[in-house]
């Protein structure tokens, strides 16, 4: 049997000695669309950053397709939070998408015609090809998010980490992203998506990882999305609970 796309064992991450994630154990099966949900400060972004080796970990290990993550970064694609970069930066949409090819290119190599073609193809998939030569500040929030997605597509990875791709996007972009995620899943990719909106989380994902500084629950959405686990995840946050209770009542 081939090794799982992502295997995390006893992962603990601390910021300034204060742990924000405790002993995370996780084995993600291939070809799944996994939503990571939890309250603010639950460590959702921290988990995916630590899984990619972007943060120092206090203990534990991460394996990607059976190898330590640092050795297998080429099989990992990443969509950071949109707010993490300066959108006034002097680059075009095309320049940003080409960055997705850099990992495969390696040092000292320039993007070739193949890389440009690939980047155009990825831009086309998110319907942003007409904007290829625009400077990135001249885009709406949803368009910027689609540029980030195109860059991740250009990475041609097998395991994707996406940090809040749905935050601050218009309805059209949201459905475009969902269609794209389904397409990737159909192609056998594994996707872990940080998501902040509970009512939609229930419909979007095959599996849910409920996180609040530790793994509260992980499993198929229909098994995990219930009152008890959500209450455990969100604790006494009544506003969210009532929102979810409403969602459960309506959909359940």
Partner 1 sequence: MSRSANINSRTNRTTVRLLYLLSSLLYLLFTTPAHAARIGDLSETSLWEQALRFFTFQDPSVRYALLGSMLLGICCGLLGSFLVVRKMALVGDALSHAVLPGVALGFLWNMNKDPVAIFIGATVAGLLGTAVVNLLKQTTRLKEDTALGLVLASFFAVGICLMTMIQRLPTGNKSGIDKFLFGQAAAIGAADVQLMAVVTGVVVVVIALFYKEFLVTSFDAGFARAVGLPVQAFHYGLMLLLAFAVVIALQAVGVVLVSAMLITPAAAAYLLTDRMHRMLLLAAVFGMAAGALGAFLSFLGNNLPTGPFMVLAATAVFAAAFLFGPRHGVLARWWRQRSRAARIQRENTLKAIYHVLEARNFLGEGVSLRELAERRRETEEEVAAQAAALHTHGLATLHDDGNHIFVTPDGWQRACAIVRNHRLWELYLTNEAHLAADHVHEDAEKIEHLLGEETVRELERRLVNTKQDPHGKTIPVVPISLGTKAETTPGYGRSA
Stretch that binds partner 1, among 32-40, 99-107, 178-186, 227-235 (CB under 8 A): 99-107
Query: In angstroms, rounded to a whole number, what is the distance separating the alpha carbons of residues 146 and 108?
Result: 28
DSSP state of 187: T
By the rule CB under 8 A, 193 interacts with partner 1: no
By the rule CB under 8 A, 135 interacts with partner 1: yes
Footprint of partner 1 on 163-182 (CB under 8 A): none
Query: In angstroms, rounded to a whole number, what is the distance separating the alpha carbons of residues 32 and 182?
Result: 10
Position among 66, 68, 105, 172 found at the interface with partner 1 (CB under 8 A): 105
Stretch that binds partner 1, among 113-121, 165-173, 184-192, 228-236 (CB under 8 A): 113-121
Q: Which of 74, 113, 116 is nearest to 92 (CA)?
A: 116
By the rule CB under 8 A, 61 interacts with partner 1: no
> And the tokens for 180?
């794209």
Beta strand pairing call for 67-68 and 159-163: unpaired
CB count within 10 Å of CB 140 equals: 12
The helix/strand/coil state of 220 is strand
By the rule CB under 8 A, 137 interacts with partner 1: yes
Query: In angstroms, rounded to a whole number, what is the distance separating the alpha carbons of residues 146 and 130?
Result: 13
CB 251 → partner 1: shortest distance, Å?
Answer: 25
CA atoms within 13 A on the CB side of 235: 9
By the rule CB under 8 A, 139 interacts with partner 1: no
CB 238 → partner 1: shortest distance, Å?
Answer: 27
Alpha-helix runs per DSSP H in the chain: 44-51, 93-105, 113-125, 141-154, 171-186, 198-204, 221-224, 227-234, 238-251
CB 148 → partner 1: shortest distance, Å?
Answer: 9
By the rule CB under 8 A, 186 interacts with partner 1: no
Number of residues that bind partner 1 (CB under 8 A): 40
By the rule CB under 8 A, 102 interacts with partner 1: yes
Query: In angstroms, rounded to a whole number, what is the distance separating the alpha carbons of residues 232 and 42?
Result: 12
Q: State the DSSP H helix or E strand holding residue 10, giving kind and residue range, or none if neither.
A: strand 6-15
Position among 4, 12, 14, 99 found at the interface with partner 1 (CB under 8 A): 99
Binding site residues, partner 1, CB under 8 A: 49, 52-54, 70, 73-74, 76, 78, 80, 84-86, 89-92, 94-96, 98-100, 102-103, 105, 107-108, 110-113, 116-117, 120, 135, 137, 151, 155, 161
């Amino acid at each position: 049997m081939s090794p799982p796309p992502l295997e995390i064992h006893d992962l603990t991450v601390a910021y300034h000695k204060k742990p924000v994630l405790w002993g995370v154990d996780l084995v993600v099966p291939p070809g799944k669309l996994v939503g990571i949900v939890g309250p603010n400060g639950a460590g959702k972004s921290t988990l995916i950053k630590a899984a990619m080796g972007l943060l120092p970990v206090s203990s534990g290990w991460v394996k990607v397709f059976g190898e330590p993550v640092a050795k297998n970064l080429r099989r990992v694609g990443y969509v950071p939070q949109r707010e993490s970069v300066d959108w006034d930066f002097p680059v075009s949409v095309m320049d940003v998408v080409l960055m997705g090819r850099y990992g495969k290119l390696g040092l000292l190599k320039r993007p070739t015609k193949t890389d440009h073609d690939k980047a155009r193809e990825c831009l086309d998939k998110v319907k942003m090809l007409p904007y290829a030569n625009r400077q990135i500040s001249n885009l709406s929030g949803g368009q910027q998010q689609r540029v980030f997605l195109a860059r991740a597509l250009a990475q041609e990875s097998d395991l994707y980490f996406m940090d809040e791709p749905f935050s601050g996007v218009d309805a059209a972009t949201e459905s475009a992203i969902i269609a794209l995620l389904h397409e990737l899943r159909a192609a056998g990719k594994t996707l872990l998506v940080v998501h902040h909106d509970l009512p939609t989380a229930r419909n979007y994902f095959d599996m849910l990882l409920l996180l609040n500084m530790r793994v509260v629950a992980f499993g198929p959405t229909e098994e995990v999305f219930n009152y008890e686990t959500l209450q455990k995840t969100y604790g006494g946050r009544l506003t969210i609970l009532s929102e979810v209770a409403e969602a459960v009542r309506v959909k359940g």
